[in-house]
Amino acid sequence: MKHYLVILLCCYSMRIFAQTAADSTDRPNFTTEEVKFNSGEITLEGTIFKPKEIYGALVLVHGSGQEKRMVNMATLLAKNGIAVLTYDKRGAGKSGGVYVGPEVGTNNIDSANLDLLALDASNAVKELLAHLPAKHGALGLMGFSQAGWVIPIAATKNSKVGFMVLFSGPVISTLEQLRFQFYTNGNTKFWDTHTDAEAREHIRTDADRYQFAATDPKKSLVKLSIPGLWLFGGKDIQIPANLCIENLNVLQAKGKPFTYQLFPELGHNTASVKSPEPINAAISWIKTFKSSGKR
């Protein structure tokens, strides 16, 4: 087993929305456009979904893994009046660049890689903005799992980002997340036999199995004043939802416009069509923004 193989579990992407071809039998109330845009020295490729009546707009940000554009999620959002740019992750699909991840024996949560992914997301925002009408509602970022580290960095890079939506996004450092992940060890019944206090103590005291510079999203979040919505599953064994919520409460107390919803019976995949409540909550929340981009 390669040294970094275990990181494959780390904040896996919501693959249920990673479909790359829309249902040809559907009659959409939106148009699609294939686009290419630059991010540093590479070219990324994606698709813009543009509703006839736009209430808001966003870029979809991947979780971990060699993920292509998320057509299913983009279609659902576009049907609800939200314009979307979804693109193939760097090194995946038609996008250029080198993919970093456990499948190829490298560390996908190294700070350098997360910063590159944030740069890609920021440039995707610029591309989407260039294709939108003057009145397009609020423009933001929506992401899954690992994107909880990527999106706050991207938002600090691009002042046009007006909001954030994060499904199961960690509000702890990368090393803290790994300590928790090793502790749960993929056991779906973990919370039946362990307490939140035990998990927190393990995260606080466990020795790190990997040595690399940690990325702590709170360092970026404290610089931001844009609204953010986090959607957590109470039975998540990839990230400790209660600790993440506690960290958000600290940021709220400092005046940050961050909010969250906890779905006690869900696990890490809070963006599943089998449990649509988190997705519906996110869509409703985005539609509360006024056309000026402010709540």
Amino acid of residue 67:
E
Q: CB–CB of 173/237 below 8 Å? A: no
The separation between the first and the last C-alpha atoms of the chain, rounded to the nearest angstrom, is 49
Q: Looking at the predicted structure, is the pLDDT value of residue 292 above 70?
A: no
pLDDT tens by residue, 3-29 = 443 444 454 444 545 544 444 445 679
Which of residues 45 and 291 earns the better pLDDT score?
Answer: 45
Handedness of CA 273, 145, 224, 203 (dihedral sign): positive
pLDDT for position 3: 43
pLDDT at 273 (0 to 100) = 84
Q: How far apart are CA 182 and CA 202, in angstroms?
A: 10
The pLDDT-based confidence of 289 (bands split at 50, 70, 90) is confident
Contact 61, 165 (CB under 8 A): no
Q: H/E element holding 262?
A: strand 258-263
User: What is the rounded distance in angstroms from the CA atom of residue 39 to the CA atom of residue 98?
Assistant: 13
pLDDT score recorded for residue 26: 58
pLDDT exceeds 50 at position 1: no
Q: How confident is the model at residue 134, as a pLDDT?
A: 87
Tokens of 116: 């590159």
Please give the average per-residue pLDDT across 251-255, as a whole number.
98
pLDDT at 27: 66
Tell me the three state secondary structure of residue 180.
Answer: helix
Cα distance between residue 76 and residue 82, in whole Å: 9
Task: Spell out where 1-93 has E strands.
Answer: 30-39, 42-51, 56-61, 82-87
pLDDT digits (tens, 9 = 90+) for 164-201: 999 999 999 999 999 999 999 999 999 999 999 999 99
Residue 12 confidence (pLDDT): 47
Per-residue pLDDT band for 290 (boundaries 50, 70, 90) equals low
**Model pLDDT, residue 13:** 47
> The dihedral of CA 260, 262, 267, 273: what is its sign?
negative
- For the chain, what is the mean pLDDT? 91
Residue 182, phi-psi category: left (phi > 0), alpha (psi -120 to 50), beta (remainder): alpha
Q: Which two tokens stand for residue 249?
A: 């409460």
* Distance in angstroms (rounded) separating the CA atoms of residues 48 and 179: 38
pLDDT digits 0-9 by tens, 60-81: 999 998 999 999 999 999 999 9
Structure tokens at 103: 């499948």
Task: Give residue-wise pLDDT tens across range 261-270.
Answer: 999 999 999 9
| pLDDT tens-digit readout, 106-135 | 999 999 999 999 999 999 999 999 999 988
Q: What percent of the chain is modeled with pLDDT above 70?
A: 89
- Residue 290 or residue 251, greater confidence: 251
